[in-house]
Amino acid sequence: MAETIETLQKTSRVIQPSDSIKSGTYIQNYEQAYKQSIEDPENFWEGIAKELDWFSPWNKVLEWNYPWAKWFLGATCNISYNCLDRHTKSWRKNKVAVIWVGEDGQERIFTYAALHREVNKSANALKSLGLHKGDRVTIYLPKIPEQIFVMLACARIGLIHSVVYSGFSAPALQSRIQDAEARVVVTADLGYDRGKKIPLKTVVDEAVSNCPLVEKVIVVQREKGHFPLTAPKEIDWDEWVQGQSTDCEAIPLDSETPLYILYTSGTTGKPKGVVHVHGGYMVGTYITTKYVFDLKDEDVYFCVADPGWVTGHSYIVYGPLLNGATILTAEGKPDYPNPGRWWDLIEQYGVSIFYTTPTAIRLLMKYGEDWPKKYDLSSLKVLGSVGEPINPEAWEWFHRVTGGTKPIMDTWWQTETGMIMVTPLPSVPLKPGSATRPFLGVEADVVDREGKNTDHGGGFAVITKPWPSMMRTIYKDPDRYLLYWNTIPGVYTAGDVCHKDEDGYLWFMGRADDVVKVAGNRIGTAEVESALVSHESVVEAAVIGKPHPTAGEMIKAFVILKQGEHESTDLIKSLKDHVLRELGKIAVPREIEVVPSLPKTRSGKIMRRVLKAKELGQDPGDISTLEE
Ligand code: PRX
């Protein structure tokens, strides 16, 4: 963690909610609702849980055996049942659940009943492979509806899904399959990226060749015959689900049954498998989607994330479906085929809730205001931002081009928290650049290293009480879980630097640890370093995050070359290609500098903080432990 924390608070305007927004929203008086919720959080969460369906009730809301939590003890439930059956048994049966738009404009629409049938067929197909409750299934798919089907299908029969973002390369996929000990991998032949075909199947072939536990690979063939499949291990998706019954009961599961593992980066080279469970996760994602976005039945909800990341898990798939929402999900980039892509989708489908990222906003900003001006965006009601701090300039631009009256929910949370933790609600006065206040039932604070309240200053963001959708452990690595609760005694340390202003508003300022946020994607500097040192010409590497005008942060690497190796354009390119092959496009350093040595502590630890300060022309702070 950083030794000192500078407070970069800017004075900022306050935007009051309009009367019409305030009067129509679920939570009209945040202060009162918040106070009530934290006076008795268990009572608050129990009340929310009762809005969902359970097969059998709990006998205790929370068992807090610091730092291990169990929620809704003794109850049985199934998140897939709550996403599907709860709606198909109601008037929502024929309501549109998912509108999917492909990069090429292809459209696929599923009502709740149709989605239910697809999920059931996939669940029966999974059963036909002889999978049992608790088995892991790795999902490496582009953003297509099958990704949603198979996630819900796993949940339905108690399998644990591990979705891996389809931009990861073969070694990164392989290590995730191996760690999860997955028996099945679900993939597609191709993804599309700005018109280019991305051969996903080739990546899977390479990864799976080193994963002896994988018995079957299911392949969605978007262009049949592009890659011939090798029977009996590889199965075409259509053949796999063909003839399967459209009925499949969601099995009652103990509320603490694992739902998924999602790998995320930390301070070591090995990604962490964050584990979430059915019961608590369902309650947290359900209510945050409902209250933060003021989600009503008539809304059309568009979240631009990819289910390969946690935002897609919680706020494309689970949260919105738990609420019976109509979801728009679109493959592709915001500026392909042109920078009007998302504005056009908003107009075409009458989107009322639009959840996006600061990086995308900054990218669209570059193309200018004429693009959004071309479209009718009057259907918009509530906007959202996630993944990294949103700078006030981007906030103001987003606010202005969408009509100047739509509240922006700057939602702060993490893979580990499962749900949005700090966020405005539509009725809360906004300050551009601040995620404002904790969500109902959540107690967040800013403290110093000892855990003392910093009283309106900079410090570390912490959560002081357990919450239902908190991760339960790190898969096969409970010690790494403990670190979250031990770093500052008694509280959950998020790893973020934060400032609390005089109104109690929280301003998240970035990571305090060795994690870089490139375009909102979380990348561990250690992962990139180990990829670099696995290159034949490199002996040592250090990686830092550096501010970037669009992506928020970019990766800069410093490398020491092996004796006899010399810096050249070809070598730098070869290093970048190597990281691309090892980890994937998102982890490739934008800048690589060859250096003769690296700043280290006497015990040999690289002081990235010093490198960063030097790079940014800042004071490196305390360097008394520096060896050289
Ligand atoms: O640093 C914070 C940043 O993203 C981190 C979590 O990354 P990840 O687990 O990949 O989840 C991203 C999607 C929830 C946090 O530790 N972060 C997320 N949202 C915000 C943010 N930083 C500032 N403001 C936000 N709204």
What is the average pLDDT across 1-30?
A: 76
Angle at 338 (CA atoms; ends 403, 303), nearest 5 degrees: 55
- Does 406 fall in a domain? yes
Note the pTM of the prediction, 2 decimals: 0.95
Q: How far is the CA of 388 from the centre of ligand 1 (A)?
A: 5
What is the distance in angstroms between the CA of the first residue and the CA of the last residue of the chain? 21
Kindly state whether residues 488 and 397 are assigned to the same domain.
yes
Instruction: Please state, in angstroms and rounded to a whole number, the distance separating the CA atoms of residues 182 and 205.
Output: 15
Show the ligand 1 pocket: residues with CB < 6 angstroms.
Answer: 264, 310-311, 386-389, 410-415, 435, 494-496, 508, 511, 517, 522
Assigned domain for 88 exists: no
What is the CATH number for 434? Answer: 3.40.50.12780
Torsions phi, psi for 55 (to 5 deg): -75, -35
Position 621 pLDDT exceeds 90: no
Q: Ligand 1, residues 303, 361, 410, 414: which to mutate, most atoms within 8 A of Cβ?
A: 414
347-402: pLDDT as tens digits: 999 999 999 999 999 999 999 999 999 999 999 999 999 999 999 999 999 999 99
Same domain? For 288 and 410 the reply is: yes
pLDDT of residue 10: 53
pLDDT in tens, 33-79: 999 999 999 999 999 999 999 999 999 999 999 999 999 999 999 99
Q: How confident is the model at residue 1 (pLDDT cuts 50, 70, 90)?
A: very low
- Domain end residue (candidates: 507, 524, 539): 507
Residue 5 pLDDT: 46
> Within this chain, do residues 445 and 532 fall inside the same structural domain, yes or no?
no
Which among 163, 386, 553 is the best mutation to test ligand 1's pocket, defined by most ligand atoms within 8 Å of the CB?
Answer: 386
Q: Does 2 score more than 50 pLDDT?
A: no
Within a domain: 43: yes
> Which of 507, 523, 548 represents a domain boundary (last residue)?
507
Q: Contacts from 8-13 at CB under 8 Å and sequence distance 24+?
A: 8/499, 8/509, 9/499, 9/501, 9/507, 10/392, 10/433, 12/392, 12/431, 12/432, 12/433, 12/434, 13/431, 13/432
Tell me which DSSP letter residue 87 carries.
H
Residue 85 lies in a domain: no
Question: pLDDT-based confidence at 11, cuts 50/70/90?
Answer: low
Structural domain span for residue 527: 514-616
Residues 497 and 348 grouped into a single domain: yes
pLDDT given at position 627: 67
**Is pLDDT above 60 for 137?**
yes
Average pLDDT over residues 77-98: 98
Contact between 77 and 347 (Cβ < 8 Å): no
46 and 177 in a common domain: no
pLDDT at 4 over 80: no
Residues in the chain: 628
- In the numeric block, which tokens belong to residue 255? 């509320």
pLDDT at 9 over 80: no
What is the 413 CA–ligand 1 centroid distance (Å)?
A: 5
- The stretch 519-547 carries a mean pLDDT of 94
Range 18-33 average pLDDT: 95
| 3-state SS, residue 283 | helix
User: Do 501 and 528 belong together in one domain?
Assistant: no
Of the residues 233, 251, 269, which one is the last residue of a structural domain? 251
Same domain, 22 and 165: no
The tally of domains found in the chain comes to 3
Chain mean pLDDT for the chain: 95
Provide mean pLDDT across the span 471-479.
98
State mean pLDDT over 18-45.
96
CA angle (262, 221, 225) in 5-degree steps: 140
pLDDT in tens, 448-459: 999 998 876 789
273 inside domain: no
Q: Are residues 168 and 204 in the same domain?
A: yes
Ligand 1 centroid distance, CA of 386 (Å) = 7
In a domain, 623, yes or no: no
> CATH number of the domain that 603 lies in?
3.30.300.30
pLDDT above 70 for 7: no
CATH code where residue 182 lies = 3.40.50.980
* Ligand 1 centroid from CA 414, angstroms: 5
pLDDT at 268: 83
Same domain, 503 and 364: yes
Residue 622 within a domain: no
Do 494 and 534 lie in a common domain? no
